[in-house]
A and B are shown apart, each in its own frame.
Chain A
């Protein structure tokens, strides 16, 4: 049985196609049945991305490295912003890879419908497979970047005698990643659902994501913000507690609070839930408008 039966007349049918379904008709069982497709999409993205490149997956590392060097020069050497006594490379690299994960997840998932119109127009599978596979393949990228971060961490810990400790908060890492995935996926699919008809939002998104980086504690620590109103503004951004918690766990310095983190997680849940509702409503007929 693929769907809840609505009334007796529909009983005994495996599939009932109707113009409108209930708000919570999310077909998660259907999504589970297509889990192999998610795996294969992730694999495809990973394999196809670096065909005919010389450096291959090294690009995963080069990009955050160059950005970090740039940040060190501009924000540390020139502007002389605080990094909370953390070595600037570690500080910027941590903010950078986390932020990139979120930003790329949102931008890529937000184009789900446009960039897959040709497949979606020919065959049915749960459309959520595509954004989910995007978020997961970004996770692979994040893993590689995180390992890269760890090599710096070890370098500073053992060769530079910087005061870094292994601590129990590091175990929070999976939660932080899942939280970011929910935020990225949720925001992305909301935008993708809204842009099937009105494409203006796409431009707003690209530009908005860039601006939002400055409203997140990527290039400065939360502790350096003294104005209360600005603090509240920064904390309203659900990415801020995640980056702060990560820095607190791995670099020993950052504004960590369970309340902020719970807020961020709750925000992620709500955004993802709303996103899935909007997305499943749009996916049925989007071929007619895209």
Chain B
């Protein structure tokens, strides 16, 4: 297809940053570097590197924020760039929007680029809304004629029509953001680069922005989008680029990238976490998942049944003890919740060990990874909780359409009458 043309191509691109105070030793370093270059040697500071890990303080003064990045974007793609803090997302966007340059490698692009790393860049508080629309538009690369022809639409979209001749220093911060986004929304670039800007507005405005960006994408334009809001990434993007510690981990569909990102995240951070409320009365030793044949198993297909074995260690007697089980998706959405009291089940715990079983039949979650959270209740009061007690991995049973991600998969029966 002619319109499946590559519009962005990043080739072996790396970016190095210097850490710490630029003032000390800098001149000496620069002279040294210059002396190496004069003799035709490599830059001596380029070798001093280590993996970019924010949690460990490294000894090196230089760090690769991005290392050997390669990817391509086709016209009409909506690419979601995901990764943890410090993975290099913002650095990548900065290089693509030409705010800073790469240290090595090349980036090639086709078409007009509009980058939105911030809304309302260059707004001057003393100028009126109208004047700022012109100024901001020009900063983003529009001519005065273009702004003039779109002025009414821009002001209308922002909802600031009444205040357009008031200096923006009298605006509320929300109005300022709306006006800033409105200008960018009418920029109509062929490639739009957006970073986290949606985080600022209220829910209504965020929806409006997402809708606007979807419109932009429908017109065959290319969007690069960075956000920590997984829902908006899932909503908006078609392709994904997963960054980790400055390298590309995965380029695939946005679903695959989000899955990988979330499961990486789970392996790293979703540790079992015990909590006692008040005295130590009892605790959970383990939570094991068993299938119908009694075998230990944590991988299931949609619609299978599973049994949770709660192995309890009680330190004291505790009458009238009940259990709450919450099952969370990886994006922290509560997918299911059961309360044993509602099922008229409670036990009188005596000190010692004991196992309680809970059978969950027909678990019709859509494929993905789920975490189990157990709370022990005594006489209506929570006494103990165990977060991330066990992981439940659901696979597709093949009956459902791939590529869609509903919360639940229902058993459907059809009749022709």
Contacts and interface: CB of A to CB of B under 8 A. Distances in A.
A285 B98 CA distance: 9
Interface in B83-140: 94-111, 113, 115, 117-118, 121-122, 124, 126-127, 131, 134-135, 138-140
Interface stretch (A40-48, A89-97, A155-163): A40-48
Nearest to A15: B109
A288 B124 contact: no
Contacts of A34: 138, 141
A89 to B, nearest CB: 35
Contacts of B272: none
Contacts of B103: 19
A90 B108 CA distance: 58
Contact of A39 (B101, B131, B144): B144
B126 A47 contact: yes
Interface stretch (A119-127, A166-174, A203-211, A222-230): A119-127
A37 interface: yes
B228 interface: no
Nearest to B109: A15
Contact of A123 (B104, B117, B134): B117
B126 A285 contact: no
B100 A40 contact: no
A287 B106 contact: no
B18 interface: yes
A34 B30 CA distance: 34
A287 B108 contact: no
A44 B100 contact: no
Interface string A8-20: 0010111111110
A47 B144 contact: no
B27 interface: yes
Interface residues of B, number: 45
B70 to A, nearest CB: 14
B381 interface: no
Nearest to B103: A19
Contact of B127 (A37, A47, A125): A47
Interface in A43-58: 43-44, 47-48, 51-52
B22 interface: yes
A13 B110 contact: yes
B293 interface: no
A198 B22 CA distance: 9
A18 B138 CA distance: 25
A10 B108 contact: yes
Nearest to A198: B27
Interface in A255-290: 284-285, 287-289
B26 interface: yes
A48 B124 contact: yes
Interface in B319-368: none
A13 B109 contact: yes
Contacts of B17: 288
B101 A122 contact: no
A19 B144 CA distance: 32
Interface in A192-221: 197-198
Contact of B101 (A43, A120, A285): A285
Interface in A124-173: 124-125
A19 B101 contact: yes
Contacts of B115: 123-124
A35 to B, nearest CB: 9
B105 A16 contact: no
Given A36-B138, A288-B18, A122 B98 contact: no
A16 B126 contact: no
B100 A288 contact: yes
B390 to A, nearest CB: 45
Contact of A122 (B30, B99, B124): B99
Interface in B132-179: 134-135, 138-144, 167
B22 A289 contact: yes
Interface string A26-38: 0000000110110
Nearest to B108: A13
B188 to A, nearest CB: 16
Given A14-B110, A18-B102, A197-B22, A44 B138 contact: no
A124 B97 contact: yes
A48 B126 contact: yes
Given A19-B102, A47-B131, A125 B139 contact: yes
Contacts of A16: 106-109
A132 to B, nearest CB: 14
Contact of A44 (B104, B105, B109, B135): B135
Interface in B3-25: 9, 17-18, 22
A65 to B, nearest CB: 26
A273 to B, nearest CB: 22
Nearest to B105: A19
A197 B404 CA distance: 52
A51 B124 CA distance: 12
5 contacts: A12-B110, A34-B141, A37-B139, A119-B121, A287-B100
Interface of A: 10, 12-19, 33-34, 36-37, 39-41, 43-44, 47-48, 51-52, 119-125, 197-198, 284-285, 287-289
Given A13-B9, A14-B109, A14-B110, 6 more contacts: A17-B107, A18-B102, A33-B141, A51-B167, A122-B118, A125-B141
The 5 closest A-B pairs by CB, nearest first: A124-B98, A284-B101, A17-B107, A37-B138, A13-B108
